[in-house]
Chains A and B, each alone.
Chain A
Amino acid sequence: MAKLTRRSFAALALAAGMAGGAANAADVEVRMYFPVAVGGPVTKIIDDYAAAFEKENPGIKIKPIYAGDYQQTVAKVLTAVKGGDTPETAILLAADLFLLTDEDVVTPIEDFVKTPEDKAWLATFYPAFLENAKIGGKTYAIPFQRSTPVLYWNKDAFKAAGLDPNKGPANWAEMRDMAKKLTKKDGSGAVSQWGIQIPSDGNTAWLFTGITTGNGARLTNADGNKVSFDDPKVIEAVQAWYDLSKVDGTQPSGLISWGATPRDFIEGKAAMIWHTTGNLTNIKSNAKFDFGVGFLPGMKQNGAPTGGGNFYVFKGVPQAKQEAAFKFIKWMTTPERAADWSVKTGYVATSPNAYDTPAMKAYTDGFPQAIVARDQLKYAVSELTTHENQRVTKVFNDSLQAAMTGARPADAALKDAQREAERILKDFK
């Protein structure tokens, strides 16, 4: 027995010695939770960034933790925080802003912004991306993997329908007209090519925010405690969307699948689609026809939602670690990195400077469609972001789906959604 104990002790000491040898005691470890939301070897890109950063910044170790999709990642982070195992930083949905501040787990970025250089850096991001990063003048998040939807059109189909293949629809009315010309039926009367597809399953609210913004409506206030789902302009927007199917017959009826729509476009079954810019590379490499990319056509003006994830810095970890995390975030969002990340993944680069880098210029010269998303950003607004965001968004999605499937009239569905959302938000006034 005594022998055994002594041996275990020796083993322990050895293990401790080895651990000491591997990591420098002075190293600051920054743990970053990271959601994998796009296909492709994203984790490898992030690992490479982390290694490059560590090389330039001895003394800081970056430990990325790949935690699944956004939903799982935020659950994991909140669990870790409650268990006293708070990470230094994480990339989480921009729309989780109020969830994280209500849980009181994140800290304003301004705490670390000290030099004029830092201040200049904070001012470089597109304002559309900062919209749901700020509360009361404080910035709680730094844009990183961000996206926005655009309209894709099939140039061959345009030609066949006698339309100018180089000009997409400039507004909603034009899109309606074009869609009518682009909808083709076969001998039996079945539609063989739809004019337009705006996906409506899953998170219906995201693309819908593009329609409401284009109709001059705002869905939420900046404090995230008030929604205007029953605004006449919002009801009008749902009606217009529904009419594409019901009145014009240029869009399939019922909910349109987000996942299948890119394939529908590639197969030539849909002549125009709304989808994320993240699809550019996919469509480019799979479509057998030339295609155009344009702004979302608005009913009154241009407008689009933003989506995707931001960096957050967490409370309750030593300041030295927070500072290290901040340093890493700054490094990750430099124009060069932002350009590289955008080219490799299809996300929109988060600051105008990124588009001036040689790497980005070379990319957009060869592929001008990639620039459209950037230009649309000046019309973009944040996606639906409120307190109890998941709940409020689901209420809204349900009502939109009821309206889009024709189960309920738009105004009745949205009025109910408004009442329900107000009930959920009453504690946050």
Chain B
Amino acid sequence: MSALGRGRGAALAGEALETAAAWLLGVLWLLPLLFAIWTAFHPSAYVAHFSPFAPLTLQNFVAAWNAAPFARYFLNTTMLVTGVLAAQFVLCTLAAFAFARFEFRGRDTLFMLILVQLMVAPDILLLENYLTIKAIGLVDTVPAIALPYLASAFGIFLLRQTFKAIPKDFEEAARVEGCSTLGVLWRVYIPLGKPVYLAYGLVLVSFHWNNFVWPLIITNSVETRPLTVGLSIFASPDQGIDWAIICAATLMTSGPLLVAFLLFQRQFVQSFLRTGIR
């Protein structure tokens, strides 16, 4: 009895310790965001002086908004992200379907070739990709930022796994009802893969929302520049760094994504759990 009690006590202590450690880690991980929120809403003079009584202000947001054409950058990033998302969904779904449900000559070789892109991300080939884009005359356009990423080995791999896990009976039932090949894909596979699309979509959006080096190279003007590149130009002027304004700009630019994640957090994690990536 007492041994059991001691065991319970130790377990409780262990649990408390674990909770404390988890929270410590959580706070550490949140620190940059907390700092950004605090700094953005207080005058610049308080950047290095934490004080709970510091006056609140929205001035930093006004200053940041006026200092660079963020509205345009938002539009560019939105166009970029929606474009990549739509294209990847369509292209990767079609390819994944073929790899999952068709027997055809050269399939396995082709699939291995596609997986090369898992290791060789487009960013690594930025020099050659720049020359390719230049050759087709698309430098400094939004499609140019998207092009190298439109087909994704990751997406094809992920969706192929998903489709393979769907029982064949479902497909056969649909066929009996007279569905064509694409009809089966549309009626059976895609609806059943929904959680995967959501998880994959969110990862994809956050990747492209935040992508920097390739857009930095391929864009040159306000009309095409995404938020990240705009932010980098605005954040490092000759006069040194004004953290209050940068934090305001950071919150502004990642705001939509943060809000989206807050809202969809549960579904996002849930759908990840159901993706079967393991």
Interface residues of A (CB under 8 A from B): 36-41, 43, 65-69, 72-73, 75-76, 79, 83, 147, 258-263, 267, 275-276, 278-279, 282, 286, 288, 346
Contact = CB atoms under 8 A, between A and B. Distances in A.
Interface string B108-147: 0000000000000000000000000010010110000000
Q: What are the nearest 6 A-B pairs in CB distance?
A: A262-B240, A39-B237, A259-B241, A76-B220, A279-B239, A67-B220
B240 A258 contact: yes
Contacts of B225: 68
A259 B140 contact: no
A288 B241 contact: no
Contacts of A39: 67, 234, 237, 239, 242, 245
10 contacts: A41-B66, A69-B233, A76-B140, A260-B240, A262-B241, A263-B242, A275-B240, A276-B238, A282-B242, A286-B45
A203 to B, nearest CB: 11
Given A267-B48, A288-B45, A37 B238 contact: yes
Categorize the interface residue count of chain B.
20 to 34
B44 interface: yes
A259 B45 contact: no
B174 interface: no
A94 to B, nearest CB: 14
B236 interface: yes
B51 interface: no
Nearest to A288: B45
B243 A263 contact: yes
Given A43-B69, A261-B240, A263-B242, 15 more contacts: A36-B233, A39-B245, A66-B221, A67-B220, A72-B220, A75-B220, A76-B140, A76-B220, A79-B134, A83-B137, A262-B239, A263-B240, A263-B243, A275-B240, A282-B239
Contacts of B40: none
A41 B239 CA distance: 14
Contact of A68 (B137, B229, B242): B229
Contacts of B140: 76
B47 interface: yes
Nearest to A65: B221
B185 interface: no
Contacts of A69: 233, 236
B66 A38 contact: no
A279 B139 contact: no
Contacts of B242: 39, 263, 282
Contacts of A65: 221
Contacts of A79: 134, 139
A75 B242 CA distance: 28
Contacts of B134: 79, 83
Given A39-B67, A286-B44, A259 B236 contact: yes
A69 B233 CA distance: 7
Contacts of A83: 134, 137
Contacts of B47: 263
A79 B144 CA distance: 16
A260 B47 CA distance: 12
A36 B231 CA distance: 12
A279 B237 CA distance: 10
A122 B132 CA distance: 43
A276 B237 CA distance: 11
Contacts of A40: 67
B222 interface: yes
Contacts of B139: 79
B241 A278 contact: no
Contacts of A276: 238-239
Nearest to B140: A76
Contact of A282 (B48, B66, B229, B240): B240
